[in-house]
Amino acid sequence: MKNIDLHTHSRASDGTLSPTELVEYAAQKRLAAIALTDHDTLDGIKEAKAAGERFGIRVISGAEFSAVYENISLHIIGLFLPEDSAEINERLAYLKNARLTRNEKMLKNLAEEGIDITMEELKTAFPDRIISRAHMAQLMQQKGYVGSKNEAFDRYIGDRCRAYVHKESLTPQETIRLIKNAGGVAVWAHPLLCKLSDKNLKKMTGILKGYGLDAIEAYYSSHTPSDTKYVKTIAQQYGLKLSGGSDFHGSIKPGLDLGTGYGKLEVPYEVLERLEMR
Ligand code: AMP
Ligand code: MN
Ligand code: MN
Ligand code: MN
C-alpha cells in the first residue's frame, strides 16, 4: 500500500533537513507523496518540488499558519497553495515581519533576564530560516544558559513565561479565506492538541466549517487508534474530508519519523486523492 505524509517541516522553518534532504528521505522511506508545510512560508517549495522530480515523489506545496480564536490557538494548514499568489505572498510577508518584531522584543526580555542572545547570532546559526522560539531555545542551550530546550521553554520562553511575547497572527477566518481564495485546501491541523472538551471541539469544528474549512487532520503522530477514530467521526458529522501527516521536524523532535510518526502512523494515498477532488 502506498503511504503519504501531508504535514512536514524543513529548514525553511524549524525543521532540520533542507527541502532536498527531506524529499530524498521521503523517497528512501518509500512514501508516494509528501506535503511540505513549513510555518508561515513557502520558501522551501521550489527546491522541494525540484527534488520531487529527481527522486520520483509527489511534492504538494503547503504552509502551516498559526491562528487564534478567543484565546484558543489553532494551526491551519493550506495545501496546494500557489507560489505566485500576490495575496498569499503579501500575508506571508506580513507574518514574517510580525514575527521579526516579536522576536526582537523577546530578545530584549531575555537580556533583562541576563540571557544574551542576539538576532545576528540567530541569523548566523540558522541562515534563511523562519526564526522561531525553537531556534532561540537551541541557541540558549548552545550558549549554556539552559541545560535543555525544554528548560528554555519552561523557564523563559514558554507561553506563560516572562520573556514570552505574543506574535500577531491571522484569525482562523482570514486564514481559511486566504487559502481558499488562492485555490488551496484548508486543513485543521492536530485538533486534539487544542485540548478542548468534546462539546467545544465540535463547536470549533462547526465554526471552522462555516468559514470554509475542507478537512481535519485525523492521522497524526501522537494519535492513538481511538483518537483517529474520534476525529474521523467528527469529520463525518461535519462533512469534512480527512488529512494526515507526521509533523516531522527532523532531529529536533527525536523519535518522530517521517511518514510513520512515533511508529504507528500510516496515511493512505486515498487521503490525497480525496483532497484533490475539488
Ligand atoms: P514560535 O512560532 O516562535 O512561537 O515557536 C513555536 C515553535 O516552538 C513550535 O513550532 C515548536 O517547534 C516549538 N515549541 C513550542 N512550545 C514548545 C515547548 N514547550 N517545548 C519545545 N518546543 C516548543
Ligand atoms: Mn514547528
Ligand atoms: Mn502545528
Ligand atoms: Mn507542524
Q: What is d(CA 38, CA 250) in angstroms, rounded to the nearest whole number?
A: 12
The predicted pLDDT at position 278 comes to 80
**Which CATH number describes the domain made up of 4-85+183-276?**
3.20.20.140
Burial letters 237-255, b for 16+ CB under 10 A, else e: eeebbbbbbbbbbbeebee
Ligand nearest to the backbone CA of 7 = 4
**Secondary structure of residue 105 in the 3-state scheme:** helix
Is-contact 223 199, C-beta < 8 A?
no
Residues 208, 175: Cα–Cα separation, whole Å: 10
Question: How many residues in total does the chain contain?
Answer: 278
Do 34 and 271 form a contact (C-beta atoms < 8 A)?
no
* Pocket, ligand 1, Cβ cutoff 6 A: 14, 132-134, 149-150, 153, 158, 167
Flag whether the pTM goes above 0.85. yes
Ligand 3: centre distance to CA 2 (Å): 25
Contact between 37 and 179 under an 8 Å Cβ cutoff? The reply is no
pLDDT the model gives residue 1: 79
Residue 106 CA to ligand 2 center (angstroms) comes to 18
For residue 150, which atom of ligand 1 is closest to its CA? Answer: 20
pLDDT at res. 128: 86
Strands 185-189 and 72-79: antiparallel
18 CA distance to ligand 2 middle (Å): 14
Query: Of all protein residues, whose CA lies closest to atom 14 belonging to ligand 1?
Result: 134
- Residues in the chain where the model's pLDDT stays below 70: none
Task: Report helix angle 86-112 to 172-181, nearest 10.
Answer: 140
Q: Whose CA is nearest to atom 17 of ligand 1?
A: 153
Extents of the domains making up the chain: 4-85+183-276
Cell matching residue 211: 468559514
Which residues lie near ion ligand 2 (Cβ < 5 Å)?
A: 14
What is the chain's alpha carbon radius of gyration, rounded to the nearest angstrom? Answer: 18
In whole angstroms, what is the distance from residue 165 CA to residue 157 CA?
Answer: 8
Largest CA distance in the chain: 55
Nearest ligand by distance to the CA of 36: 4
**Which residue's alpha carbon is nearest to atom 11 within ligand 1?**
134
147 φ/ψ angles, rounded to the nearest 5 degrees: -85, -20
Grid cell of 11 as nine digits: 529548514
Quick one: cell of 72? Answer: 484558543
Ligand nearest, relative to CA of residue 153: 1
d(CA 78, CA 53): 22
